[in-house]
Amino acid sequence: SPEGEAKLIPEQYLPWKLPEDVDFVPTGVAPLSKSEELKKRVEDIFGQGWTAEYDTMDTFVDSSWYFLRYPDPHNEEKFCADDRLKKWMPVDLYIGGAEHTYMHLLYARFFTKAMKKIGLIDFDEPFLKLRHQGMVLDKEGKKMSKSKGNVINPDSMVEKFGADSVRTYMLFAAPLEDEVMWNEDNIVGVRRFLDKVWKLQEKSINIDESDNKIKILLNKTIKKVSEDIENFRFNTAISQMMILVNAMEKKEKISAVDYESLIAMLSPFAPHITEEIWEALGNKESIFLQAWPKADEKYLQDEEIEMVVQVNGKVRDRLMVAHDVTEDEVKETALESEKVKIFTEGKEIRKIIFVPGKLINIVVV
């Protein structure tokens, strides 16, 4: 009604059929609102000034196929050219809240399957992979909402701590799929980490030989961060970089090449500070145009490894040996161990089982 009163359609007018005098040219309003036939029909039943409910489609329906238009948004002949559909579709990755499983995802899958059935596309699943991200809760573990007055304005956090600190904290606070307990106090720790990264510029020098321990840790970090990013384990990737930064901080000098590798790994998480550092190091092109660091396999092995020594299957000692130690060297060292001799002296050694990099088992009778 003109006053906003709602009424049901009387039963004698059912079924309520859609009008045919509508067009779907986008104007910012629902197509039904432009139907003169529907307007007259409603006023004949309820009186002048009464209008039908025009917005009858759920918003998830409205957004159920937009991703099929993205590859070719300016095409005025088709919603998407065949070659672009083949190149870009279906979507590789869909990230959304768990509630979308039965809302937007449901509608998007329906539209995709229907469009395949009528021959518009040649695939029937819109997304190859789905990952849910957790909700952000307040520091008391409650869901943020305007009605509760516990919503945090990210702009004020950015103003206070910087965009990189807030961004890195969000990725560090919890695994992607877990809920994040927003705690302003914890952003301080991430800000300190980024401050350490910035100050490492003072230790960065052009030297031919890097510290070997740093080189090993750097290459292990490159490997882990690369794998973690591919698997959306952003929190553990950042944690590993924190370990590397703490180790670098303890050195008087660090290799500029090693430092640049750290900056490159950190750039997806803290893009502003890393771009600034990259330029300050004398680089002309953006850090985001550089190749991703690659781990050198020869540095991925620990210099020393722990080798378990067993006698008849029971652990009797643990030895620290070189990672490339030979079987004969391990046997000799194990048999000389005082802890092992207690169980082998006066007995016959039937055989010795050697598992490289893990254990040696001495079988006696």
- Percent of residues, the chain, with pLDDT higher than 70: 99
Domain architecture of the chain: domains with CATH = 11-56 (no CATH), 60-132 (no CATH), 136-185 (no CATH), 194-299 (1.10.730.10), 304-364 (3.10.20.590)
Give the span between the Cα atoms of 306 and 203, in whole angstroms.
Answer: 33
Q: Is 191's pLDDT higher than 90? A: yes
pLDDT band at 57 (very low <50, low <70, confident <90, very high): confident
Beta strand residue intervals within 189-230, DSSP E: 204-205
Backbone phi, psi, residue 18, to 5°: -75, 145
E strand or H helix at 62: helix 59-62
Using CA atoms, how far residue 136 sits from 132, 159, 317, in Å, is 13, 20, 48
Beta strand residue intervals within 188-283, DSSP E: 204-205, 254-255
In this structure, what DSSP letter does residue 135 have?
P
pLDDT tens digits, residue range 9-19? 999 999 999 89
pLDDT tens digits, residue range 217-252? 999 999 999 999 999 999 999 999 999 999 999 998
Q: Tell me the pTM.
A: 0.67
